[in-house]
Structure 1
Amino acid sequence: MYKGYLIDLDGTIYRGSEPIPAGRRFVEQLQARQIPFLFLTNNTTKTPETVANRLTNEFSIHVDPETVYTATLATIDYMNDAAKGKKVFVIGEPGLIDPILAAGYVWDAENPDYVVVGLDTDVTYEKFVTATLAIQKGATFIGTNPDKNIPTERGLLPGAGSVIAMVEASTQQKAIYIGKPEAIIMDKAVEILNMKKSEVLMVGDNYTTDILAGINNGIDSLLVLSGFTQKEDIPTLPVPPTYLVDSLDEWSFNEV
């Protein structure tokens, strides 16, 4: 029925450091049937190589880094397409900064073409000052993803969206958001699969990111109740997902 799959990671394939066995079996089914897929993540703190190594070493899911498409990569693709320039200032961690610089962008805190803001656990007031002044001078303001919180064993901690909101408040400008549920990352992911949106299924556990990424962008969605969104939330969802399962083991693959 679907020629390609876009798959969330945390809450869908694993929960933190806890494996979700049905998630591993789901990926193995895709591999056995030779159905193309991309892991689609808003996490900008890890490179695709790091994510692939973690999947292999911690969860026995053997995939290549090319199957991982992060909000970092989508940000780089967006800047490449915009072709405004190659000067950049970034609030973020090495998983965001290093790939951007490796893609040919040059660090410029004074007059960058782009200011990219993502999750930064070492963010300082001075970084906010630098970003604010650069945007006021005309730099394009990019937010990697809108996630206001990240779930941890300590509770819901501030996410990239909270950091971006600070810069939005100080500049009185809205960021261009890249990650799920925005169109930018979804359009690029479908383009990478070289398919039509009607041929692709978005799979995830979080209604507000994964499922709305499908709903808002004309892509069918499969909500699995193994992570963020709970069964009691279903009656209150404004638009239901295309499919709903308690476990990915319930999904029935149709031959392509």
Structure 2
Amino acid sequence: MTNKKYGGYLIDLDGTIYLGNKRIPAGENFIHRLQEAKIPYLLVTNNTTKTPRVVQRRLSQQFNIDTPLETIYTASLATVDYMNDLGLEKTVYIIGEDGLKEAIYEAGYKKDRENPAYVVVALDTDLTYEMLVLATLAIHKGAKFIGTNPDLNLPNERGLTPGAGALIKMLEAATRVEATIIGKPEAIIANKAVEKLGLPKSGLLMVGDNYLTDIHTGINNGIDSLLVTTGFTRAEEVPNLPVPPTYVVASLDEWEV
């Protein structure tokens, strides 16, 4: 297809470059073409379960993509950047997995189950009721309630499984407090990602498979968007989308970098 040329790309991972543990060859080719053309890109993912180094290793070993560590920007890193900007006491209670915990603890935050300054909630596949109790009580006491990302579902090889957003909604119901959401499509992660690329929004393209997160990141933040129908949002849904993406493709092989 013929399209505008962009100076930089913000790119989703799961559903766009791969699907769970399944390869998307066109996604792999897309990254290779950007690298060959020396076009800057940032892989922006709402997944907080893995550290950037683990993401980097997985891309290399499973998906034939070698990419520098600094090209990977997770919602965990954006969460730490936001907490640092707020500057509250460095105590936190986390519902989340190693990728999130490592990022927050490495930034100097200490675990506090009783009176934390922050409660941070992400996907946690070992979630227990007691963890929800501790988070609820801390938020009732005034802890800043942060949700890493709003994804209600995760697309993978099993289908659409519950995401971090589903857990956040549960705690919002229990506390009657609305979480501050960091990840796509929010301005917090979008602005931090743009800042990291160091390019104007007018020269960037947001690429992803999820209309509600990836494409709304573009729509809500003044960035052109490319929807690829290999993951969450299906091709048959496109005609009824309330605000259309700038572009839609069935495969990233259709896109000219």
TM bracket, shorter-chain basis: over 0.9
Deviates more, 1:193-202 or 1:148-157: 148-157
Give deviations 1:162-215, integer Å, cap 9, x for gaps: 111121111100000011111111111001101221111000111111111110
Q: 1:25 aligns with which of 8, 23, 29?
A: 29
- Structure-2 separation of matches of 1:156 and 1:224: 17
Q: CA RMSD, aligned part only? A: 1.1
Cα offsets for 1:111-163 (capped at 9, x unmatched): 11110011111111211111111111111000011111223343322211111
Structure 1 runs of 4+ with >6 Å offset: none
> Counterparts in 2 of 1:174-253, with a 5 A limit?
174-253=178-257
The answer to whether the aligner puts 1:2 opposite 2:6 as a matched pair is yes
What's the secondary structure of 1:85's corresponding residue?
coil
Q: What does 1:1-256 align with in structure 2 at a 5 Å threshold?
A: 1-253=5-257
In 2, the alpha carbon distance for the partners of 1:33 and 1:223 equals: 21
* Cα separation, 1, equivalents of 2:157 and 2:198: 38
Check whether the contact 2:12–2:44 (CA below 8 A) recurs between aligned residues: yes
Note closer, same or farther for the CA distance 1:152–1:22 as it changes in structure 2 (3 Å cut): closer
Runs (5+) with no aligned partner, structure 1: none
User: Which stretch of structure 1 is more off in the superposition, 222-231 or 204-213?
Assistant: 222-231
Q: Percent identity of the aligned residues?
A: 64
Aligned residues: 253
Shift of 1:251: 1.1
SS at 2:248 equivalent:
strand
Q: Which amino acid aligns with 2:79?
A: T
Alpha-carbon shift at residue 249 of structure 1 (Å): 1.3
Aligned partner of 1:65: which letter?
Answer: L
In structure 2, relative to structure 1, the CA distance for the partners of 1:245 and 1:153 (3 Å cut) is: closer
Give 1:94's aligned amino acid.
Answer: D
Write out per-residue CA displacement over residues 212-239 of structure 1, whole angstroms, 9 at most, x where no aligned residue: 1110111100111222222211111001
The TM-score with structure 1 as length reference comes to: 0.96
Q: Is the CA contact (8 Å cut-off) linking 2:49 and 2:99 kept in structure 1?
A: yes
| Per-residue Cα deviation, 1:16-37 (whole angstroms, up to 9, x for no partner) | 2221111111111111111111
Query: Structure 2: which 5+ residue stretches go unaligned?
Result: none
- Structure-2 separation of matches of 1:4 and 1:152: 27
Residues 70-111 of structure 1 deviation map (CA, whole Å, 9 limit, x = unaligned): 110110000011111211110111111121101111111111
Quick one: which amino acid aligns to residue 7 of structure 2? K
| Secondary structure of 2:221's aligned partner | coil
Q: Which amino acid letter does the alignment assign opposite residue 121 of structure 2?
A: V
Cα offset for 1:9? 0.8
Q: TM-score, normalised by structure 2?
A: 0.95
